[in-house]
Amino acid sequence: MTISHHPPEDLLADFAAGKLEEAHQLVVGVHVAGCPRCTRFVEAIEQLAGAALEEVEPVPIAPDAFDRVMSRIQEAPRETAAPSLVSGMDDDVPPALRKYRIGKRRRVAPGLSLRPIELSSSGKSRAFLLRSAPGSRMLEHTHTGTELTLVLEGSFSHEGGRFGPGDFDYGDDEVDHRPIVGDEGPCLCLVAMTGDLRMNGLLGRLIGPFVRL
């Protein structure tokens, strides 16, 4: 897998610092997990954070904190059992997503279906898996917020280039997306989105109600 499109550096730094909305954290995290180059970048920011931790002015901790920590350590069981996989061995779901609850696939238009990902917080962002048929035109839309797309299988192309497995596409309100799915097979993407969508065309009007999860 050759990855040629990466998240912008400030997004990676925000990821490393833990500042992203949950949906964005998820999509960037799945990219980073499969991308040694971005893993190095994230680790570099974490090392800078470690240096900041060493140099920050210490603030006195509660006087009984150590005793409380020791008693909490002794009270609770050491390790909890691994959670059961909520989504099962579903071939649509990449390993990194298996701990998430993922909704049923909904066919929203010919050749286009999506599965919402249940996030633990009710932030302003949404995440879903989007499956598009080979050769089809994907969501034709613009939006007011940001949209992060990670290709899991297949490919799509737009004016920014061709995006294959592992590639990351960053869209903001200046981008008018007209992606076309490659002919080699269906395209499965993990998408995080904030802001309101402005759907274009008939397809957009069809899918609009489904995307606002």
Interface with another protein (CB under 8 A) = 9-10, 13-14, 16-19, 22, 25-26, 29-30, 32-33, 36-37, 39-62, 65-66, 68-70, 72-73, 75-80, 82-83, 96, 99-100, 119-123
Q: How big is the CA angle at 72 (ends 68 and 63), to the nearest 5 degrees?
A: 10
Least Å from the CB of residue 162 to another protein: 21
Of the CA atoms within 13 Å of residue 167, those in its CB half-sphere come to 18
> By CB neighbour count within 10 A (0-12 exposed, 13-18 middle, 19+ buried), where does 138 fall?
buried
99/198 with CB nearer another protein: 99
Report the interhelical angle of 22-33 vs 36-55 (nearest 10°). 120
Least Å from the CB of residue 112 to another protein: 27
86/202 with CB nearer another protein: 86
102/112 with CB nearer another protein: 102
Distance from C-alpha of 91 to C-alpha of 87, rounded to nearest angstrom: 10
39/136 with CB nearer another protein: 39
61/89 with CB nearer another protein: 61
| Cα 180 → chain centroid | 21
Least Å from the CB of residue 22 to another protein: 6
Least Å from the CB of residue 139 to another protein: 25
Nearest to 102 by CA among 131, 81, 80: 131
Nearest to 191 by CA among 112, 100, 125, 136: 125
Work out the widest C-alpha separation in the chain, in whole angstroms: 65
Write the CA distances from 104 to 27, 118, 169, 189, 201, integer angstroms. Answer: 19, 11, 25, 16, 26
Least Å from the CB of residue 179 to another protein: 26
Least Å from the CB of residue 140 to another protein: 31
37/104 with CB nearer another protein: 37
